[in-house]
Structure 1
Amino acid sequence: MFKLTTLAALSALAFTAQAAELPANLDWQTNWDDPVFASDQAKRGGTLRTHLASFPLTLRTVGPDSNSGLRTYFLDEVPGLVTRHPDTLNWIPDIATEWAFAGDNKTVYFKLNPDAMWNDGKAITASDFEFMLTFYRSKDIVAPYYNDYFTNTIAEVVKIDDHTLAVSTVEEKNQEELMLTVSGLNPKPAHFFSRGKDKNGDGMDDNYVRKYNFKAEPTASPYFVDKIKKGKSLTLKHVGDDWWGYENKYYQNRYNVDKIRFTVIRDQDLARQHFEKGKLDVFELTLPEVWHEKTDGEVYQKGYVHRFWGFNEVPQGAGGLWLNTAQPLLGDINIRRGIMHATDMDGLIEKLIRGDYSRKPHATGSGNGKYSWEGATPPAFDAELAISHFSKAGFDSVGGDGVRVNDKGERLSFELVYPYPSWTPRMAYLKEQAKLAGLDFQLKLIDGATGFKYMSEKKHQLAFINMSAKEIPGYWEYFHSDNANKPQTNNFNNFSTPELDELITQYRSEFDLTKKQQLAHEIQRIIQDASVVVPSYILPWSRQGYWRWMQYPENPMQKRMDYLFTVGRIYGLSTFWIDSDVKKETLKAMDDGKAFEPVTVIDDRYKR
């Protein structure tokens, strides 16, 4: 760590010295030629009514308890420097309108839109990107991942003038990876964060976590936090028609609703009932039992509510059943290997999920092109093989309750934590199948943000959780020793080895794409051999129900788009709108007993 940090500091000093002035020979690039994906038929106005399973524990974007709830709206989905076109995957302008490579394989220059501003009316300048680095490097934010990334990956951000800056990385990177590394950097509003006490001199208030726990910071997004009813609801409000982003052709005819109201409804069945009564405008129909069995009611048959199933080509993140190796017995690889083969994930997909999902080939994710290990195969359910591993670990007897025991009288029993009530039947299935190998899963539902907090603090033995994905997969946060046995990190396994640490460090700094992809395969093999995560499943699509007044473009889905009716720039592109005339027509038809044709739309252009 000292070596990398020192390298970052030296690189930053050298970069600052040579980048104070803008080089004259830069080849500036932009891209206004790709097709738009929103509709010029879109209408502005209305309130999107949706729901949350739990109220967020904080409005902070980083630090304790932040990796859940609404964070995607405040961090992941807000404008950055540049972004990918969701279909062509070419780079297109965002806050930055032009970019240029310095030629050193480390540095990219950006010209900012001079009209970009925070929702409080303050201009977004290069200083806000400089402050971003101060913010993320501060120990006061209590976010080890960000501290590391913005020290050992991002070397420096240098302000050339108010609307021109340069970003450098610590290590040399090929041009594509360099853009992926710096493109999504979001500014931080320097004027908002008062310094207060700063004993460690890192530029941030020592009391940041508590002071800003429920203070919504200014945003570059078209939506800002308007009203909060703690524990009950939260409303986002549109900046207005003069939002700076509408100068960008790729943002036009998007973000069409005036408000987004999130109501906390902890039970999914209750939320579905609210939706079918017209109290919510959209509802996820991901669960097979909902899509196949519970969407044949009157509102669907009379065409008031439509169904949508759209396919995509979005990378799938790490996930499945994570084994906490710091817990008793789980440090034994034979126990872990036994659990791998005693967990019937394929049967779960076939029998409870109706084959709608696909098995994840590897616990670290899939859909990352050449970074994905082609030979990866998930462990198959095999009770006899599981028993042989358990016996090697000393659990060679079976108690009266069918659970295996060792000569100390210890039972082969583990608590299995999961975050959603709708998953209870799935976990119950895994529990029943595990009994065939003499393994006992004690199921524990801890829903929403509280569940994620429990897992990130490493209180679990086994935890079923799926994480979001990156275009280039990352392993440091999940499997490096820097994050093992530490709370508020994503190393849910508390697993690491010196060999794996070395490979992950090499992977993060490797310039050559072919070598980097080979390192990724080696890392994946080691993780698979360690038996620390039972790979779960992938969903290369989304399903939603919506009232017929919800409208969208002729081609609803894009390659890199998760949900049709989600506000954002990545997971959902906010191309939908509310047609108030159709809403009036629908409500009147319901009062008059008039029916429309039932509608199910399937957009399978990106089905693999």
Structure 2
Amino acid sequence: MKPAQTILFILVSLIPLPDPLAAGNFPPYDGSAEREAFWEFHNIRVVEQLRTEEQQLSEQLAKETSNAAKDAIQASLAGVRKRLAKPEFFTFATLVDLPPGLVWENGLGEPEIGDPRAKKGGTFNSYIPSFPPTIRVLGENANNAFRGYHYDDIEMGLVGLHPETGAVIPALAKEWAVSPDSRTVYYRIDPEARYSDGVPVESDDWFNTFYMQLSEYPQNPFGNEWYSSQYTNITRYDSLTLSITLAEPKALTPYWTSLTPMPRHFYKEFGPDFESRYQWRSRPTTGAYAIRDGDLKFGRSVTLTRVKDWWAREKQFNRHRFNPDRLVYRVVRLPEKALELFFQGSLDTFLVGDPTHWYERIEIPQVHDGYIRKAKFYNVWPTSSAGLYLNTAVSPLDDRDVRIGVSHAMNYQKVIDFDLRGDYRRLNAFSEGYPLLGNPPITAREFSPDKARAAFASAGYTKTGPDGVLVNQKGERLSLTITHRKAPVIDKYMARLREEALKCGLEVRLESMDGSAAFQKASQKQHQAVQVAWGTTPPFPDHFQHFHSKDA
């Protein structure tokens, strides 16, 4: 089935930008003893939780009368008892404990990535619409828009996926082997792997990843739930050999177990004040770039500098990549201002999100004379799950009929046809466009004043006020506040949605904010609705992070 396609526009120019400065420190604290005590503590906690779950399921089974329900409970009970037979989450073993007959892979048969003609050096100048609220990768506000630039796109996991073939390729691990049941992956860490500060990467750093993700110190409900429910064991065989076990078998098992290490020497001070202590600390990285001391200019820019003598620079899948010496991200709050800076040569690329820019503003001599290159291309994967996200915990969105009505009242197709000039396509479902899964048999609800009003009537909004807004028997207006990032093109199409929603009897109030402020408000669940574009996680959609009840 053909994947969803989204268009990206990029302009390219070449001019350098200056160096930024950076940030402070906290007094030392040693949390090593607490970390080492955590392994036994958590193992005991897992056993207690499993026994409690076993008891609860046994009691439910005794009371249940439906055969179908009994079968489901018995299946769950069997799963819990299987876990109880081998409940240890953190295991310390030796190489002789490795299962016999493992088939080790290295992925070196895949083609190289990048162009050998690419030259290394220079500075790549780009921009971000707001300064990140933190450079921590865990805790409150860590999942901000800048995280991808300095973490997800930089750090290395145990393995990676080849961008063209989709095959597993080495990263921090030089070899891996998958268990027959597709639940456990065994890894041999590359002995050359180093952090940017020169410290070797070791198995214990993945133990530290689990420790920090399972800890209650950071505000981290996703990590707490994901790492406790999706994994059942991590085993250290020696400093360069480990295994990670999933709770259930999955396709492409190495992808799901390819976690990023948390350097235990850097996070030695992890403790109750972690979020404030590490708010602006630049961590050592495993990838090609790092934020060095002096690379942060608060409110102005963030710079990533290429790691000198990066350990993986000559590896097969890296030697033609990560070419600039420095990546400078300058804060420019308005796209129009960023475009002017691009024309002046202060920015090297400009990602065109506003069709007016593409079709009108960049029809200039520099483009026609070849000094600026316009590029338009399609992605294999959907670039984002952009849309309206509703807070179903607040009224009136806690009513399903209201939510259905809102779906029919949002005229996104008109936004695409007129405001975005037909250059985008509406996804029918959150997980559309992932070829390994196929597209779900779902069609997005069309804009329909009749269907919207019928749904609103089912929720009790049956009378129309003098301004066209529906009200219920209590005189409460049907009103929705939408928080969104402030930008000319977004302001324009949000105004279009407001205008179209009124035809359906829905009052839309727009709350235009700085991107970081809008993200923080939504993260803290202080919004009613938020217009946002979340990043994607090829080759699979991330249903867990978006829809699991732990975020309810």
- Is this a same-fold pair by TM over 0.5? yes
Q: 2:209 aligns with which of 132, 150, 172?
A: 132
Asked if structure 2 preserves the Cα contact closer than 8 Å seen for 1:317 and 1:365, the reply is no
Asked whether the 8 Å contact 1:404–1:438 carries over to 2, the reply is yes
The 2-side partners of 1:132 and 1:139 are apart by 13
Per the alignment, do residues 81 and 370 of structure 1 end up closer, same or farther by CA in structure 2, a change over 3 Å counting?
A: closer
Could you say which residue in structure 2 is the equivalent of 1:34? 110
1:466 has 2:533 as partner: yes
CA 1:392/1:151 → structure 2, altered by over 3 Å: closer, same or farther? closer
Distance of 2:495 and 2:218 partners within structure 1 = 39
Q: Structure 1: how far apart are the matches of 2:90 and 2:333?
A: 50
In the TM superposition, what is the alpha-carbon distance from 1:9 to its structure 2 partner? 8.1
For residues 226 and 367 of structure 2, the distance between their equivalents in structure 1, rounded to whole angstroms, comes to 48
Query: Structure 1 residues 459, 9: CA separation in 2 closer, same or farther (over 3 Å shift)?
Result: farther
The CA deviation string for residues 261-299 of structure 1, in whole angstroms up to 9 with x for no partner, is 111111111011101110111110133222122210232
Match of 1:252 in 2: 319
- Letter aligned with residue 246 of structure 1: R
Judging changes above 3 Å, is the alpha-carbon distance between structure 1 residues 36 and 17 closer, same or farther for their aligned structure 2 residues?
closer
What's the secondary structure of 2:535's corresponding residue?
coil
Q: 1:310 is paired with a residue of what secondary structure?
A: strand
How far did residue 82 of structure 1 move? Answer: 0.6
- What is residue 191 of structure 2 aligned with on the other side? 114
Tell me if structure 2 keeps the 8 A contact 1:85–1:92. yes
Shift of 1:382: 0.7
Cα–Cα, structure 1 residues 69 and 329, in superposed 2: closer, same or farther, change >3 Å?
A: closer
Aligned partner of 2:443 in structure 1 is 377
What is the CA-CA distance between 1:104 and the residue it aligns to? Answer: 4.1
Indicate the SS of the match to 1:116: coil
Amino acid at match of 2:178: F
Distance (whole Å) between structure 2 residues aligned to residue 133 and residue 215 of structure 1: 20
Instruction: Give the aligned residue type for 2:256.
Output: T
* Partner Cα distance (1:392, 1:330) in 2: 13
> Does structure 2 retain, via aligned residues, the 8 Å contact 1:317–1:366?
no
Whole-angstrom CA distance in 1 between matches of 2:50 and 2:365: 65
Give the structure 2 partner of residue 428 of structure 1.
495
Q: Distance in 2 between matches of 1:4 and 1:464?
A: 43
Once the two structures are superposed, the pairs formed by residues 79-478 of structure 1 within 5 Å of their partners are: 79-171=156-248, 173-174=249-250, 176-183=251-258, 185-195=259-269, 204-226=270-292, 227-240=295-308, 242-315=309-382, 317-362=384-429, 364-369=430-435, 371-421=437-487, 422-470=489-537, 471-478=539-546
- Deviation string, structure 1 residues 121-167 (Cα, Å, up to 9, x no partner): 11111121221111211111221111111111122322222222111
CA contact (8 A) 2:462 2:471 kept: yes
Q: What residue identity is the alignment partner of 1:350?
A: D
* Alignment match, 1:578: none
Residue of structure 2 equivalent to 1:496: none
SS of the residue aligned with 1:157? strand
Give 1:315 shift: 4.3
Given that 1:371 and 1:473 are in contact with CA atoms closer than 8 Å, whether structure 2 keeps it comes out as: no
How far off its partner does 1:61 sit? 0.5
Give the Cα–Cα distance (whole angstroms) in 2 for the partners of residues 12 and 254 of structure 1: 42
Q: TM-score, normalised by structure 2?
A: 0.81
SS in 1 for 2:267: coil
Q: Report if aligned partners of 1:11, 1:170 keep a CA contact under 8 Å in 2.
A: no
Per-residue CA distance 1:166-196 (angstroms, 9 max, x = gap): 111223x14x34222112x11111001124x
TM-score by length of 1: 0.74
Closer/same/farther in 2, CA of residues 224 and 413 from structure 1, 3 Å limit: same
Q: Aligned partners of 2:347 and 2:332: how far apart in 1?
A: 11
> Which sections of structure 2, spanning at least 5 residues, go unmatched?
1-45, 54-79
Query: Aligned residue for 1:509?
Result: none
2-side partners of 1:83 and 1:36: how far apart? 13
1:375-414 deviation per Cα after TM superposition (whole angstroms, max 9, x unaligned): 2100011112212222232222222222122232211111
Are 2:105 and 2:175, in contact at CA under 8 Å, matched by a contact in 1? yes
> Helix, strand or coil: the match of 1:193?
helix
Computed over aligned residues only, the root mean square deviation of the Cα atoms, in angstroms, reads: 2.2
Instruction: Indicate how the Cα distance of structure 1 residues 411 and 9 shifts in structure 2: closer, same or farther if over 3 A, else same.
Output: same
Report sequence identity in percent. 31
Q: Which runs of 5+ in 1 are unaligned?
A: 196-203, 485-608
Counterpart residue number, 2:136: 60
Matched residues in 1 for 2:186 and 2:264: separation? Answer: 21
Deviates most, 282-291 or 53-62:
282-291
Aligned-pair CA distance for 1:115: 1.0
Indicate conservation of the 8 Å contact 2:89/2:234, yes or no.
Answer: no
**1 CA distance for matches of 2:307 and 2:436?**
41
Name the SS for the 1:467 alignment partner: strand
Query: Which residue identity lines up with residue 351 of structure 2 in the other structure?
Result: E
| SS of alignment partner, residue 217 of structure 2 | helix
| Alignment of structure 1 residues 408-557 onto 2, 5 Å | 408-421=474-487, 422-470=489-537, 471-484=539-552
Question: How far apart, CA to CA, are the structure 1 residues paired with 2:229 and 2:482?
Answer: 35
2:196–2:285 Cα contact (<8 Å) kept: yes
What SS does the aligned partner of 2:224 have? helix
Q: Mean Cα displacement is larger for which, 472-481 or 348-357?
A: 472-481
Q: Distance in 2 between matches of 1:319 and 1:48?
A: 27
